[in-house]
Amino acid sequence: MSKQTSIGFIFIATLSVALCGACCAFSNAEEPSAASIAEALKAQEVACGKSLVVNYNITFGPADHRFTETNKYIRTADVLVHEDNGIWSSKETYNKTTKESKCLFWFKGKIENGTIKNGIEGTIFSTQSFIETSRFALYEGALCDIIRSGKISATKEDVDGFQCWRVDIAPKVKAFEKYAVWVDPNIGFCPRLIKIIGKTSPPIVIAFKDYKQVGAGVWFPKKLNVDAMSPDNVAVNSECNVTDIQIDQSVSKDDMRLDFPLGTEVQPGYTNAAYIWRGRELKTPVDPRNRRRASDSHSSGSAFTGIGKGIRVTLINGHGSIGQDLAKYLVYPADVHNIVLILFAAGAKAVSVGGWRVTPLSWITDEANGVISAGGHRVREPWVIEAVGDPKALSASLAKPDTSAADLFVLKMIKVASVTRVTVKAELHRR
C-alpha cells in the first residue's frame, strides 16, 4: 500500500468513525437539543460522500383513481437534481452555491418549455413530492434547517413501536398551527412521522417507513406515505416506494447538468415573460398573442367540444397583512398554467380558462392591471378554470400537498367545486 493510499484510507476511516461517533453521542443523549438533532441530520448528508442517488415510484390519487410516476433524485454537496416521468415529465436542478434553479418540461415526449429561477422556492425541492430525510421539505425550508427552532418533548413517544423524540416547530405560514416531527435517535434522528397541522384544515400526515442503513451513519426510508384530504373531503394518499438507492457514487456531468435545447421557450423567474434560448442567454421575447402553435391542433382533444361532468376551479387574489410579502397573495399566470397542467395530467378531457379553451401547450401570460391572457384571450379576476373529467380524480390531483396548488389552498386563494355539466367549446384561439 502506497503512502498516499494509506493516508487516504486513514482519513476516510477517521471521518466515518467521527460521523458515527457524533450520531451515537446524539443518540445516547437523554435530552437532545434541537441544534444537535439538526447537526445529526446534516452529518448524514456528509456521510453520503460524493452523492445520494434514489430511484423511486410515486403513486397518488384517491383509492378508485390512482396514478404512478417514476422518479430519480440526486443530491451532492453542491447540486440537487430531480427527474420525473409520466404524461408530464421534467428535469429540475438546484445549485446550492449560486441559488439558481432550472427546469425543463416535456408533454408526451415533446419539449414544451423551461424555467430559470433564483432560489429554491417553487421548485420540486420545496414540496413533499420527493423522498428525503435531512432535506425533507416543509413549507418554509429543509427539515435540517428549520428543526433548529423546535421545542423537544419532555419524554420519548412511541411511533409504530419506535421510541422517538417529538419536536414541535412554530410555522411562519399563518394557516398552520405547527409542524410536529417525531425523530428516532437510533437512526441518526431521521424522521419517523411528520404532521403538518392546520388551524382550520385537516392535518397532512407524512410517514417514513422501512428504514434501511445504506452506509456508515446513513439511514434512508424505503417507503414514504403522505395522507391528506381533497377540497371535497375525499381522502388522498401519495405513496413513494424506493426501487434503488446508492451513496458515495460518482455522478456524470450529464446527470447533474440541465441544458436547454436551442430554441426552447424559457420563462425567467416570475416575470411572466418568455424568451427563446440561444445558447448561453435568452433572446427574442415571445408574444403569445401573435402566435398560434401548430401543436395546439393536435393536443388533448382540441378538435371537439367537451361536455360532461367535471370541476370548476376559481382563483382569486388573497389578502395579506401589513409586513407580509404581499406578492405571494397575488394570482400569477404561472398559477393558472400550473392548474391547467395538473388537470390534464389527471385525465381532463378538455379545459377552459375564463370560458376559452386551452391545451397543455397554450401560453398563459400577464396583460398588466390584473388581466391574464389565456391563449390570446383577456381574462379578469376571478379566474375560473373548468375541466371535463372525473370530478374525484381532478379534485384529488389539486389536493396533493406536493403540487404547485398547495400554497393557493393555504392562502385561501382557490376554490374547487364538482359540476354536473361542463361545456368546453372546440375553439382554441382567436384568428
The answer to whether residue 14 scores a pLDDT higher than 80 is no
For residue 87, the model assigns a pLDDT of: 64
Asked if residues 207 and 213 have their Cβ atoms less than 8 Å apart, the reply is no
CATH architecture of 3-254: Clam (2.50)
Give the pLDDT band of residue 84 (cuts 50, 70, 90). confident
Q: Which amino acid is at 52?
A: L
Residue 37's Cβ-count burial label (10 Å; 0-12, 13-18, 19+) is: buried
pLDDT digits (tens, 9 = 90+) for 88-127: 688 999 999 999 999 888 866 777 678 888 888 767 787 7
For residue 384, the model assigns a pLDDT of: 95
Instruction: Kindly list the domain boundaries of the chain, sorted by start residue.
Output: 3-254, 288-424
Give the predicted TM-score (pTM) of the model: 0.69
C-alpha pair distances (Å), 291 with each of 52, 119, 141, 225: 43, 31, 39, 43
Strand partners, 104: 91, 114
- Cα 396 from Cα 59, distance rounded (Å): 13
Strand partners, 315: 383, 414
Highest mean predicted confidence (pLDDT) among 33-47, 60-74, 333-347, 408-422: 33-47
Per-residue exposure over 343-363, b if at least 16 CB sit within 10 Å of its own CB, e if not: bbbbbbbbbbbbebbbbbbbb
C-alpha pair distances (Å), 84 with each of 130, 176, 250, 366, 395: 10, 29, 21, 28, 22
Give the pLDDT band of residue 15 (cuts 50, 70, 90). very low
Same fold, 3-254 and 288-424: no
pLDDT digits (tens, 9 = 90+) for 35-59: 999 999 999 999 999 999 999 998 8
For residue 57, the model assigns a pLDDT of: 93
The CATH number assigned to the domain with range 288-424 reads 3.30.70.1880
